[in-house]
Amino acid sequence: MKFGELFLKGRNRHDFISLLKTNILKKLRGFDCHLVETQGRLVLSDYIEDFENEIIERIQTVFGLIGVAQAFEFDTNLPSIEDVVVGAVEDSGGSKSVKSFKIETKRADKTFEMTSMELDKHLGEVVLDKFPKLKVDLYNPDLIIYVEVRTNKKTYVYTNLLPCAGGLPLGSAGKAMLLLSGGIDSPVAGYLMAKRGLKLEAIHFHSYPYTSVQAKEKVIELARLLTKYVDEIKLHIVSFTEIQEEIHKNCDADYMITIMRRFMMRIAKRLCEKNEAGAVVTGESLGQVASQTMQSMTVTNSVIDIPVFRPVVAFDKEEIMDVARKIGTYETSILPYEDCCTVFLPKNPVIKPTIKRVEKLETKLDVEGLIEKALATEEVIVVR
């Protein structure tokens, strides 16, 4: 297993790798296996081969890894390397299905008798002697044979390097609260921030009876789909009905969404404090709807003094949908169950709200009382 930007870390690299190993073993709960690190690689062994495909699929969802491959491991010596490389070509179909190849060597063990370039050239000649119909292609080969000579006096040879999730180990950047609405954008935002190492909890605001039980179940399913990448999510479900009714009754219609968003942020901050989370994550994309203009975000942010991460802020809708399809949330997100943001929706929401105006409107509301009542409805579900 290969990790990517962890190589950029300094003296604390060991902490990141230790967390990464913990996360991998969590993904592989129920499988007997042995995991060790060897100079920039993680090696998994002693597992039952019948489960290999499932193990690899799980490893591919671990943040912090960029590649995984089934490798041949053996004691380092040149004759063995030659034999295994030739065997790798044969296993790939030889010259019957492969027309070109390339050798990529990494010689971490500097005591080995050849440099990386010398070993590339030598092994290329060995393959051509055995398969004279093959050609070397350094730019677009049918087959790449990876050879890694490691400092533990072991060599690893593999041909099928599969991509992994990338990013940083989950939990390495702290914890945040994701505002999970049930739409397309918020699960994507959660995935992207988890990829940067944030452990996630989620908040969903419902407006029963204006929203249905199916809408709540849809959000629980979205959280479940995200656990493919984040192991588990504590989902906080909060009733927003009374807040929306009071805003609708007492405030100007064009400011309703803006005031709603400010209440959501206030409640999110309270839950962050209660659950030791340091930031809020939203699926807002600049200019996508009226509540996502620069002015709207400024007014919304003014009630919260912790970071608000908006990872899809520069994405257009097609880009967001592409990620949703990739992570498997799209089909659930488009199910036709309403969320609280569609309740009492004004015809002409303000796109350039001001803090002065919104604060004046909020004087008509018992802001603290409404927040306390909403928090009293909190239902917590741990989704795995």
pLDDT in tens, 106-152: 998 899 989 999 999 999 999 999 999 999 999 999 999 999 999 88
> In sequence order, what are the beta bridge partners of 202?
178, 235
Asked, for residue 169, whether it belongs to a domain, the answer is no
pLDDT at 298: 94
Q: In the structure encoding, which two tokens stand for residue 145, read together?
A: 């044979």
Domain with residue 337: its CATH number is: 3.40.50.620
In terms of domains, do 342 and 373 share one? yes
In terms of domains, do 43 and 143 share one? no
Which structural domain range is residue 188 located in? 175-383
Asked, for residue 164, whether it belongs to a domain, the answer is no
pLDDT beneath 50, residues of the chain: none
Asked, for residue 168, whether it belongs to a domain, the answer is no
Residue that terminates a domain, selected from 27, 45, 68: 68
Secondary structure of the chain as H, E, C letters: CEECHHHHCCCCHHHHHHHHHHHHHHHCCCCCCEEEECCCEEEEECCCHHHHHHHHHHHCCCCCEEEECCCEEEECCHHHHHHHHHHHHHHCCHHHHCCEEEEEEEECCCCCCCCHHHHHHHHHHHHHHHCCCCEECCCCCCEEEEEEECCCCEEEEECCCEECCCCCCCCCCCEEEEECCCCCHHHHHHHHHHHCCCEEEEEEEECCCCCCHHHHHHHHHHHHHHHHHHCCEEEEEEECHHHHHHHHHHCCHHHHHHHHHHHHHHHHHHHHHHCCCCCEECCCCCCCCHHHCHHHHHHHHCCCCCCEECCCCCCCHHHHHHHHHHHCCHHHHCCCCCCHHHCCCCCCCCCCCCHHHHHHHHCCCCHHHHHHHHHHCCEEEEEC
pLDDT at 207: 86
Give the CB-side neighbour count of residue 147, counting CA atoms within 13 A. Answer: 33
C-alpha dist (Å) from residue 379 to 205, 218, 247, 267, 337: 11, 16, 23, 14, 20
In terms of domains, do 41 and 129 share one? no
pLDDT at 343: 66
Domain with residue 151: its CATH number is: 3.30.2130.30
Residue that terminates a domain, selected from 34, 68, 102: 68
Asked, for residue 134, whether it belongs to a domain, the answer is yes
> How many domains does the chain contain in total?
3
In terms of domains, do 85 and 127 share one? yes
The answer to whether the beta carbons of residues 348 and 216 sit under 8 Å apart is no
C-alpha dist (Å) from residue 261 to 37, 161, 199, 248, 362: 46, 45, 23, 14, 12
pLDDT at 340: 62
> In sequence order, what are the beta bridge partners of 145?
103
In terms of domains, do 212 and 248 share one? yes
pLDDT at 10: 72
- The model's pLDDT over 13-57, given as tens digits with 9 standing for 90+, comes to 889 999 999 999 999 988 888 998 887 789 998 888 888 999 999
Other CB atoms closer than 10 Å to residue 138's CB: what's the count? 12
pLDDT at 129: 94
In terms of domains, do 195 and 343 share one? yes
In terms of domains, do 274 and 194 share one? yes
Residue % of the chain over a pLDDT of 90: 74
Residue that terminates a domain, selected from 159, 183, 211: 159
In terms of domains, do 58 and 77 share one? no
In terms of domains, do 64 and 118 share one? no
pLDDT at 342: 67
